[in-house]
Each structure stands twice: as structure tokens, then as C-alpha cells.
Amino acid sequence: MNSLLETIVPLQFKRKKGQLLLGDAPRTHDVTIIEAVAREMHWNALLDSGAYKSVTDIAQAEGLMPTTVGRMMRLARLAPDIVEQLMAGCQPRRLTLLWLMRNDIPALWPEQRQMIEQFR
């Protein structure tokens, strides 16, 4: 007998101007930020596992500039509750991937939360 439990949650996804809309909720998911966070977490795991030795190695494999990969890698250090907000579509509407890449993201989670609050 299989002890694996399965939960099915019926959801409807719609796209509107590049954003993913979840069901009838007024929240909008910024797909570009979500994809970037997922990519950076993957790259971070590759570094941790030793599959790649440096950001430069990842940049070469991905066909990107090392500075671009380095800027994007900062997203892997976002506080878990901020990542949850992004996944739930509760991020501030004015927060963009471009802003996150062009600006420093504080290392400390409380400071990250203050940074996000400035957009509300």
C-alpha cells in the first residue's frame, strides 16, 4: 500500500500583460521575479554542491556576464517570508526585477523587510 498522500488544489491560471494571475484573486504574480528567484536558488545549490566552482563558471555555462549572474545571485539570499510573498503574489506592485538587480539587497532579513515595505 502506498503511503504517499496526494492533495489536489484546483487553480486557474491566467496571463495578463506578462503577469501570471492566480484564479479570481486580485493578486498578481510577477513571473519575472519568481523565475529569477528560482534560477538563483538553483545556481546557489549548484555552487553549494560543487557542480560549479564560481559565479564565473555559471555565467560561462549560461552565456551571461559574470556581473549579471552576481547581481542575480543576491536574490537567493532573500528572507523566506519575502520569497513566500512573491510566490503568493503579495509583493508590492512597484517592486520589479530590474530594481532588485540594480540595487543592493541588504544581507540582514529585517533590513530586507524594511526595503520591501518602502514600496507599499
Q: How many domains does the chain have?
A: 1
What range defines the domain where residue 54 resides? 31-103
Give residue-wise pLDDT tens across range 63-118. 999 999 999 999 988 999 999 999 888 888 899 999 999 999 999 999 999 999 99
Length of the chain, please? 120
- Is the Cα torsion angle 16, 78, 75, 39 positive or negative in sign? negative
Would the pTM of this model clear 0.95, i.e. be above it? no
Please enumerate in sequence order all residues whose Cβ is within 8 A of that of 90, keeping only pairs 6 or more positions apart, or say none.
27
Q: Is residue 18 in some structural domain? A: no
Predicted confidence at residue 60, as pLDDT, reads: 97
Q: Is residue 117 in some structural domain? A: no
